[in-house]
Amino acid sequence: MKAASLAEIKKRLVKLEQGEILEACLRLARFKRDNKELLTYLLFASENEKTYVASLCNEIDDMFAGINKSSLYFAKKGIRKTIRWMEKFIRYSGNQETEIEVRIHFCKALHASKIPVEKSKVTTNMLQSQLKKIDKALASFHPDIQYEYRQEIDRIIEEFKGFKRA
């Protein structure tokens, strides 16, 4: 079966009654955890973005606390897992300020974890990638706001000894 386009789905949803839409949403939530997480964000967290950001930052801290630092190999796997998780929840929000704040917090948590980022090309690239994504999201902001965030990013980069920004 071929999936319908978003335009077709939208046209069909407009024609449905409220009860039918509710039933479709609940059925959708039963099938995949990602759908349930997105509905949870839309229904409960989207009204208070600051609380959502704080909960994501707390979860990132918990994930870094659980990373196995006995070897760089295991640390890289833990960092990659944290990034995948973070990307998913940033995508739910779609808010660029949320994205920037969460990514900056990730960089700070990475530094606080004392994982030697500069000793591995892979971990260096992970950090570079986060910084590039922050810069891309910052491009649409007012110059005054950009300046404040860029100062914070510069402080983070200074904290990483031996790290050169691309």
Domain assignments of the chain as residue spans, ordered by start: 18-47, 49-166
pLDDT tens digits for the chain (166 residues)? 777 788 888 888 888 888 888 888 888 888 888 888 888 888 888 889 999 999 999 999 999 999 999 999 999 999 999 999 999 999 999 899 999 999 999 999 999 999 888 888 999 999 999 999 999 999 888 888 889 999 998 888 888 766 666 6
Cβ neighbors of 89 (< 8 A, separation 6 or more) are 37, 41, 56, 102
pTM: 0.86
Q: Are 140 and 96 in contact (CB under 8 A)?
A: yes
